[in-house]
Structure formats: C-alpha cells, structure tokens
Amino acid sequence: MAPDPRGLVAIDVHTHVHFSTRGSQTEAGRARMAEMKAHFKSDVLGMDLPRLAAFYRERRMAAVAFVIDSLGDPEEHAATNEEIGELAAEHDDVIIPFASVHPLRGRAGARTARRLIERYGFRGFKFHPSVQEFYPNDRTAYPIYEVLAEHRLPALFHTGQNGVGAGTPGGGGIRLKYSNPLFLDDVAADFPDMPIIMAHPSFPWQDEALAIAVHKAQVYLDMSGWSPKYFPPQLVHYANTLLRRKVLFGTDFPLFTPERWMADLERTEIRDSVKPDLMLHNAARLFGLETGPAAG
C-alpha cells in the first residue's frame, strides 16, 4: 500500500524523526527533547514515527520521514533506518519512508542501501552534506548513487544555509561549503536516472539551484525549512513559471508545522494556479503515486 493522493490535500516531502519509540522515554531522549524545545520554540516535538503518522493523518497529508546517518555512534534516543522501515509499513497510508546512509561509507554503504530498499521498501534517501561533511560529487559516494539510480529512487540533499549550529560560536563546527548546490550539477549529470531533490531555498546560492533545476530534467526543489514569506523573489518567479511542476511542499517538521507554512504561503505571490502542484501533484508524480483531484 502507498498513500493515495485522491484522499490527500498535500504531501510534505521533508520531515525529521528525531526519536525512536523507546528512545523518547529515556533520560537522554528527554534531555534532547528539552534542548529541541528551547531551539525550535515548538509544541510539536518528541514525536516518534507512529505519532508523526497520526499527526499527518489528522491533516489528510502524507509525509516523507527520515533520520540522518552519521559515522559515529548513534545517539541513544535516535531512530534507526530499520525502525523507520518497520513502522512505515504499519502507517503506509501516510508515511513515505526515506533511508539515510552516510555517503562516505562507499561500497559498504551501497550494500546497506540495497538491503534497506529490498527488505523495507524505502522510497528514497536523505543526504546532508554539511552535517555528514562530504561534497555531493565525491566519487566515494557514487556506489550508493548507483544503487538509487538502478531503482530510480530520489536522493534528497540539504542545500544552502544550515539551522544546525546557527548563531553559535563557529557555527557548531558546521561548514556551509559542502551544501553549495553547484556540486549537485555533477551528480545530476552523472546519474540521470536518479531524481534529485534540492532541499530548502539554497541561500546564498539560490541562483545556482534554480539554474540546475531548469537545466537538469530530474532535479526538483523542496521548499522546506524557510517561512515562504522570506522566499527569494527569483525562487517565487521560477515557482510560478519554468519550475511550477518541479517545486515541492516541505516543512522541515518540526521546524515548521504544515499550518504555519501554509499560512505564510498565502503571504507570497505564488499563484493559486500553482499551489495544487506545489502542495500535492508534483510529489505524487515524483513518487510514482496515482494522481487524482485534491481532496476538498
């Protein structure tokens, strides 16, 4: 089973699962939750995947859900790819599961990616160049991309500015250079069968992101992580014109709730005629779901 767009008002292509079902109840999990509440100033934190599914089901939305793989020991409270895969199968009416394999795992990572796809049915993969400290066109990552291209699964890459470490001394050690979307032009050229989603308005490289999305047929723009009222003018222009069938609704939940994001969308010049594709139909086509009229 997969989400049926005929019963949905939107597909959110960018949500984070920060806690495992067990980990949200541990001391480390509760401490992490307190940190997140202070950072995000949000009342929708601490969700494991079943609660995330219930949250989106209530809103007649589907959600792409994922974790981010690291090379170090995982945090005690964090969900794993395997947990995401298992629980997504129980909530496949609203959850579209993405896996995460650190690109620098190379050929071993490619074997892991293949296992995750074949055992759990993941529908795409998430990469975060600044957090995972790699350039997307690093050839070490190419064996993983080869697996995704073989299965024609999308790869979602963080681009541009980073909320992690923002405003702290040294930015928490996060280096923005890895998330310049121009590195994805090589990836898009080398893997034409792997759809690429460039996540977030790509400040300060918005023009580079737009150029790649216009030039490469399989490249899409996920508009998560920013309030729409702060979208750069050129992003709004291209969303209304050349890229109207390649822009995707995303919140970066729990950074934004769908309600907040959609309310701010109404304060932009994005045309009403574009919104059905932006909110639902572009993602439905990308994920190979049957399309139909949006729910009223």
Let me know if residue 117 belongs to a domain: yes
pLDDT of residue 128: 97
Q: In the Cβ-directed half-sphere of 101, how many Cα atoms lie within 13 Å?
A: 27
**Domain containing residue 208:** 5-286
- Alpha carbons 108 and 98: distance in angstroms, whole number: 18
Let me know if residue 296 belongs to a domain: no
Let me know if residue 186 belongs to a domain: yes
- Sort strands 61-66 and 219-222 into parallel, antiparallel or unpaired: unpaired
Tally of domains within the chain: 1
Average pLDDT, the chain: 91
SS (H, E, C) 139-177: HHHHHHHHHHHHHCCCEEEECCCCCCCCCCHHHHHCCHH
- Assess contact for 195 and 221: CB atoms under 8 A: no
- Alpha carbons 7 and 178: distance in angstroms, whole number: 38
Identity at 288, one-letter amino acid code: G
Let me know if residue 293 belongs to a domain: no
Q: Among candidates 96, 101, 104, which has minimal Cα distance to 14?
A: 96
> Any idea what the CATH number is for the domain that residue 103 is in?
3.20.20.140
pLDDT of residue 293: 43
Let me know if residue 226 belongs to a domain: yes
pLDDT of residue 44: 75
Let me know if residue 254 belongs to a domain: yes
C-beta neighbour count of 290 within 10 angstroms: 11
pLDDT of residue 280: 98
Per-residue pLDDT of the chain (296 residues; tens, 9 = 90+): 789 999 999 999 999 998 888 766 667 666 766 776 666 666 677 789 999 999 999 999 999 999 999 987 777 778 999 999 999 999 999 999 999 999 999 999 999 999 999 999 999 999 999 999 999 999 999 999 999 999 999 999 999 988 776 777 777 888 999 999 999 999 999 999 999 999 999 999 999 999 999 999 999 999 999 999 999 999 999 999 999 999 999 999 998 999 999 999 999 999 999 999 999 999 999 999 965 444 43
C-beta neighbour count of 254 within 10 angstroms: 20
What's the pTM value of the predicted model, to 2 decimals?
Answer: 0.93
Let me know if residue 291 belongs to a domain: no
Tokens of 236: 């709004």
